[in-house]
Amino acid sequence: MTTPPSSMQDALGGRAEKQPYVDWIFSKVASRYDLGNDIMSLGYHHRWKRRLVRFARIEPEHRVLDLAAGTGDVTFMLARYASRGEVIGQDINAEMLAIAESKRPADLQNVRFEQNDAASLPYPDASFDRVTCVYAGRGFPDFPAVVREAYRVLKPGGEFWNLDFARPPNAAFDKLYRGYMVASGVALGTALHMDPRTYVYIPVSMAHYPGQRWLEGVMQEAGFETWLDETFGCLMAYNVGRKPER
């Protein structure tokens, strides 16, 4: 797809056009996605991802599903822990998954990448010990449907770990933070892709995202026991849900 289907504000604000717009963005940025992340977060995204993987207490035999795996960063980290288990990195975007495949370390045999929609997963009920989702929820047209799917495919006692930008509780700080994201997004999108929209996607999708407290309610409605960790000065939110043992 070479042109976006509609304006970013319209597309990200409603359900119908959101998926084609998000697909357009990620197909466009795939080849330089990792570089863009390193620059925009000053390298910190690795640290925030490592923290999630460490805290998720992955065991060697675990089966793990990494939703919206993108270029595979988190999937590969998970696979080091689930050394005798299996990790599936799923994503809807073929270009992102192709980059992930190209980065696969030669010694990692327990990883598979599969293209499908997180809102309608092709995996059996109760088939994973952990489901992770990193920096992707804002882009889903129907995040509650994805949460219900995560619940369905988890084994009883299994956990869903979601990491995304937080909505800072202080409105003035929130405005300043998003101002920085717009300014740096315009500069980075223009420099890397000759198109400011590619990185302004982040603050615009953040503005349309109801945030970590809303997500916690959605997870509870799906059946999860939840906890929430807002950290790094309230910039990042880790939403965690445990599927109760019967």
Ligand X SMILES: C[S@@+](CC[C@H](N)C(=O)[O-])C[C@H]1O[C@@H](n2cnc3c(N)ncnc32)[C@H](O)[C@@H]1O
Interface with ligand X (CB under 6 A): 22, 26, 68-70, 73-74, 91-93, 96, 117-119, 134-136, 139-140
CA distances from 52 to 15, 89, 173, 239 (A): 29, 16, 25, 10
CB-nearer residue toward ligand X: 26 or 160? 26
Tell me how far apart the alpha carbons of residues 219 and 107 are, in angstroms, rounded to a whole number: 36
Please, are residues 61 and 85 in contact by the beta-carbon 8 Å criterion?
yes
CB-nearer residue toward ligand X: 94 or 183? 94
Please, are residues 76 and 111 in contact by the beta-carbon 8 Å criterion?
yes
Nearest alpha-carbon partner for 121 in 101, 144, 143, 150 = 150
Tell me how far apart the alpha carbons of residues 51 and 45 are, in angstroms, rounded to a whole number: 10
Nearest alpha-carbon partner for 113 in 72, 73, 141 = 72
CB of 26 to ligand X, least distance (A): 4
CB of 238 to ligand X, least distance (A): 13
CB-nearer residue toward ligand X: 208 or 225? 208
CB-nearer residue toward ligand X: 165 or 224? 165
CB-nearer residue toward ligand X: 85 or 141? 141
Query: Tokens at residue 179, please?
Result: 């101002």
What is the Cα 80 distance to its own chain's centre?
Answer: 19
Chain residue whose CB lies nearest ligand X: 70
Rg (CA), the chain: 17
CB of 166 to ligand X, least distance (A): 15
Specify the amino acid at residue 55. Answer: F
CB of 19 to ligand X, least distance (A): 6
CB-nearer residue toward ligand X: 196 or 225? 196
CB of 244 to ligand X, least distance (A): 26
CB of 32 to ligand X, least distance (A): 13
CB-nearer residue toward ligand X: 37 or 63? 37
CB of 21 to ligand X, least distance (A): 10
Please, are residues 86 and 110 in contact by the beta-carbon 8 Å criterion?
yes
What interhelical angle do 94-103 and 33-40 show, nearest 10? 80
